[in-house]
Amino acid sequence: MTQSWKITALASRQAVQDALLAHEETPDWDHAIVLSGCEVAKDRPEEWLLEAWLPRRPTRADKSAFLALFAGEPPAIASERLPDQDWVTLSQQNAQPIVAGRFHIHTPEHPAMEEAGVVDFTIPAGQAFGTGHHETTAGCLAMLDAMKAGGVSARNIADIGTGTGLLAFAARALWPHALVTASDVDPVCVDVVESNAAANDVPMGAGPGQLTMLVADGMAHPLLQARAPYDLLIANILAGPLVELAPDFGKAVLPGGSLLLSGLLGTQEDAVLRACRLAGFRSTARMRKGDWSILWLRKRTLARPARRSVQPRWLPGS
C-alpha cells in the first residue's frame, strides 16, 4: 500500500483561508497533494489547521510549496507518516448519519431511515469527495430540496465534479424522469459512482431517469456539450474553478435554468457571484454552512431591469 504522510500547520483562521485561496491560484501545484483546512475545535473558532495529505514522504520542495501558501511569516509545520491504511476510509467509517432537507445520508455501518418522505442514501467511506458529511455537500442537498419545494422543474441535469455521485443521485430522486449527467476529472470516481449507484438502486444509462457518468475537466467533454442546455447544473468544486467555468456554465444553462454552486468559502462568494453575473446569472438564494457558501442562481431570461434591484433571499443554514 502506498505510504501516506501529512504536513500540518497551525495558524489563524484568516491565514488558513488565505492559504487555501493561494493554493487555488498556484498553477503548478502537485495535484497528488490534497489540502484541507478546518478549525481546531468548536470552542476555538479562530485557530485553524492547514493539512496537506501526500502519497509519499514530503520532500523539501513539498514543504517549501506548502509554506509558500502563507503570506508573511510562515507558521511552524510538522510532518508525520500515517499508518499503512486507507486514512480517507477510516476517517469516514465512524461518520454519523446526516439529515439535509428530505435526505438521510449514512454509511453502511448505520441503518437506513425508513420514514415517509425521507430519501435515504447509503454512501460507503471511500476515496471520492462527497459523502454528505462535508458542509458544502450537505448544503447542496438542503438547497436542492428547497429548489424542489420552490417549484423548480428539471428535465436535464448535470453534476460537475460529482465525486461519489451523491448530488446527482439526489437530483434524480427529486426529478426522477430527468436525464442526468455526472462528471469528474478524477477517473477513480467512475467506479465509485457506479458502485454507489448500484447500492442505491440508481439506474446507469443514457435515457430519462438514468445516470450517465463521464470523466471530464469542467465542461470539456463532447457529451456534456451535446446534452446542453441544462435546466439544472450543479458544481460543488472550488472557488477558482467556479470563476473560470462561469462563462461555460452561462452557455450550458437554459434561460430560466438553475445553477447550484458550492465549494467556496464565504470570503470567496463575491468573486464567484461577480463571474456568474457576467455570464448571465442572477442570484436567487444563498445558504451558509459554517464558513462555506451555497449559491442558487438562475439564468436570466431578459435583459437586467435598469431600475429595480432584487436582493437574493437567504435560506437557513441548518
**pLDDT value at position 35?**
83
CA distance 12 to 275: 28
- CA–CA dist 296, 210 (Å, integer): 24
Helix (H), strand (E) at residue 120: strand 119-122
Domain boundaries, the chain: 5-85, 90-314
How many CB atoms are closer than 10 A to CB 145? 17
Buried b (16+ CB within 10 A) or exposed e, 164-175: bbbbbbbbbbbb
pTM (two decimals): 0.71
The pLDDT of residue 290 is 78
Question: Measured in Å, how far apart are the chain's first and last C-alpha atoms?
Answer: 39
Q: Which CATH code fits 90-314?
A: 3.40.50.150
Class of 5-85 in CATH: alpha beta
Q: At what angle do helices 239-252 and 13-24 cross, to 10 degrees?
A: 50
Query: What pLDDT shows up at residue 73?
Result: 87
Determine the pLDDT at residue 40. Answer: 82
| Close Cβ partners of 154 (under 8 Å, ≥ 6 residues apart) | 171, 174, 175, 178, 231, 232, 258
As a whole number of angstroms, the distance between CA 168 and CA 224 comes to: 14
61 contacts 27 by C-beta, under 8 angstroms: no
* Segments in the chain below pLDDT 70: 1-3, 83-95, 125-134, 302-318
* pLDDT recorded at residue 306: 45
Closest CA to 247 of 271, 219, 268: 219
